[in-house]
Amino acid sequence: MIEIDKLIEKCRKNGLKITPQRLAIFEALINNRNHPSAETLHKEISKKYTTITLTTVYKTLEMLTNLGEVASLDIDSERKHFDPHIEPHHHIICKECKQIIDVFKIDNDVKPPKDVLERFKVDGFHIDFYGTCIKCHSAA
């Protein structure tokens, strides 16, 4: 979870400037459980910072990903989403409205097949579930 003070300190230690636009992006990510895309963040932030570019948002998200403060999610074929919650968890995605929900607990017996384990040392995994949320299912 992003903590602004720690993030500012980490950026400065890595020689990165803290601009008002970057701070706005950091703030937009705090407690954000919506897994926003760069476009969504840009739309939100440009209400206050009218000159912020989508490129600035993308570059800042890339920087945060490289610092390990944001996870980049390739679970939507149309655009990349970003998750400020980097603790291990999974996702469920509605195929209709594209809503992404965090899943923090799954059955502990999930593991690769034995033949895969013989060829790989597994040090982590991530599972994405797909379906239709209740709202979209009810509307159908």
CATH number of 90-139: 3.30.1490.190
CATH number at 4-83: 1.10.10.10
pLDDT, mean of residues 52-80: 92
Residues of the chain with CATH 3.30.1490.190: 90-139
Give the pLDDT score at 87: 87
pTM value is 0.82
Whole-number pLDDT of residue 108 = 67
Instruction: Report phi then psi at 10, rounded to 5.
Output: -65, -40
Q: What is the mean pLDDT of residues 121-129?
A: 85
For the chain, where do the domains classified as CATH 1.10.10.10 start and end?
Answer: 4-83
Question: What CA–CA distance (Å, rounded) separates 48 from 24?
Answer: 9
Give yes or no for a contact between 37 and 44, defined as CB atoms under 8 angstroms apart.
Answer: no
Contacts of 86 (CB under 8 A, 6+ apart): 1, 68, 69, 70, 71
Name the average pLDDT for the chain. Answer: 90
Distance separating alpha carbons of residues 30 and 104, to the nearest angstrom: 18
Residue located via tokens 């440009």? 46
Q: What is the largest CA-CA distance in the chain?
A: 55
Percent of the chain at pLDDT exceeding 90:
67
Name the percent of the chain in helix, strand, coil, to the closest 5.
35, 15, 50
Position 133 scores a pLDDT of: 95
Helix or strand holding residue 16 (H, E): none
